[in-house]
Amino acid sequence: MVVGEFTEQADLLVIGGGPGGYSAAIRASQLGRNVTLVERGDIGGVCLNVGCIPSKALIELSSRFHELDGLAKRGVVTEDAHIDPVALVQTVTASVERLTSGVRQLLKAADVQIVQGEASFVGPNEVRVRASHETSRIKFKDCILATGSSPRELEGFVVDHQHILDSTDLLFAPVVRRDLIVIGGGYIGIELGSAHARLGTKVTILEMAPEILMGVEPEIQRTLRSVLKQMGVEVHTGIKVKGVKTTGDAVVVEIQAGSTVEQIRAGAVAVMVGRVPNLGDDLALGTAGVGIGPEGRLVVDEQMRTANPHVFAIGDIVAGPMLAHKAYYEAKVAAEAATGRPTGNDATVIPAVIFSEPEVASAGLGEQEARDRFGDDVVVARFPYRANGRAIVLGAAVGELKVVAAKATGRLLGVHIVGIDASNLISEAALAIELGATIDDLALTIHPHPTLSEMYPEAAEVAQGMPTHIATQRG
């Protein structure tokens, strides 16, 4: 039962407490605004609570467990290594609790007022917030929308958290399954499917598109396919999922490939077919004079400002990849713009990482995209992990670092990595592209030895035609 309704005033209102929302709130407070943050769920949003952080905790633990076989072959023998599912989930949960608690402390230190409830616009500068036992109205001078995204639903698959699962079930259920079907060969399906395969689950991945991880470089797709096969993961692409039924303790998924229809059985099926922005009717955007663009996202200018000059939007609800670090960046732009500072979203690249086995990371243009734009004025060079001393020492010789550059100027256009620690290596590429670095700059920058980062100057030397650690024929 809802009791009463009262009106409050807010200098700057932030709707959504995920990475974008809480970052915007903190930055705006640092710049002198009095900030009110409305969040309907847990502070930290999907990323901290059921996304980035718990998934990477699980992935890291599963990777360490999977490494034990390799260590035994290299002289480090471990007896009776096994998974304790309860302790595993407790570790994942602890990582979430530590970070969400930290974010709450940061918001408190920044004097951000947190309001629990679901906001909807009732005018161009006013929202109604519905909580469990009351509603309130908040009039604002400026507002930053950071409502994030939700898992895309698949018709006919109703999540029951027992046989039909979502990504959260794969993170926090204290059980190692015998077998699992994953519907979706995008980054979420590949990451979590790989993690559970490393824990000992027989995983089958079904993808409607002609290849997994559509959009990454073809070499990377091939490398991942090969590694997944070695891990015992079955990958089926070009698949149409026709339906699902539960029979006893198992589920049966009917799939179609071309004219062939077959059934696949497992203990559970996890649906991970992408995400959709949280821009539902409950938000009442039209009331605020904010419209949804043709691609289902809000249209904003370089300052993240919508058609309503006092309403800004960031993160998953605006154009671009649905990535937490993109939201962090846009949050600061919006907060600065809302305080009247000269600012704008002028990022040249947004690096992307897939925490697969091995990791994948990219920044800038892919090879085909570069050739589509610049024709023959493109040079591509690769350096394999197997020729890097540090990779060999780590027992991780699978993968490569690939650079794409303009042939005439040498300017770096893109970098694509598949291999161990790609997630950390890609930051150098993002900085280099932002600064307009060239192949010569990479080749002439001294990197410490022995490290994985040495692959940057090595790949640059390949582009120059004079590699040191790859055999070439003279002349």
For residue 309 the two structure tokens come to 């000059």
Contact assessment for residue 252 and residue 242, using Cβ atoms and an 8 Å cutoff: no
Sign of the C-alpha dihedral computed for residues 465, 466, 468 and 471 taken in this order? positive
Q: Is 449 a catalytic residue?
A: yes
Report the C-alpha gap between 148 and 60 in whole angstroms.
25
Q: Which residue is it, tokens 């903190």? A: 26
Bridge-based pairing of strands 118-123 and 126-130 is antiparallel
Report the C-alpha gap between 12 and 4 in whole angstroms.
24
Report the C-alpha gap between 149 and 322 in whole angstroms.
8
**How would DSSP label each residue in 414-456?**
EEEEESTTHHHHHHHHHHHHHTT-BHHHHHHS---SS-GGGHH
Helix axes 19-30, 324-338, angle to 10 degrees: 30
Q: Which of 133, 447, 449, 469 is catalytic?
A: 449
Phi-psi label, residue 382: left if phi above 0, alpha if psi -120 to 50, beta otherwise: beta
Contact assessment for residue 256 and residue 240, using Cβ atoms and an 8 Å cutoff: yes
Which of 249, 248, 253 lies closest to 265, judged by CA?
A: 253
Report the C-alpha gap between 179 and 269 in whole angstroms.
9
Report the C-alpha gap between 175 and 454 in whole angstroms.
41
Report the C-alpha gap between 207 and 257 in whole angstroms.
11
Burial of 49 (0-12, 13-18, 19+ CB in 10 A): buried
Bridge-based pairing of strands 311-313 and 135-145 is parallel
Active-site residue set: 449
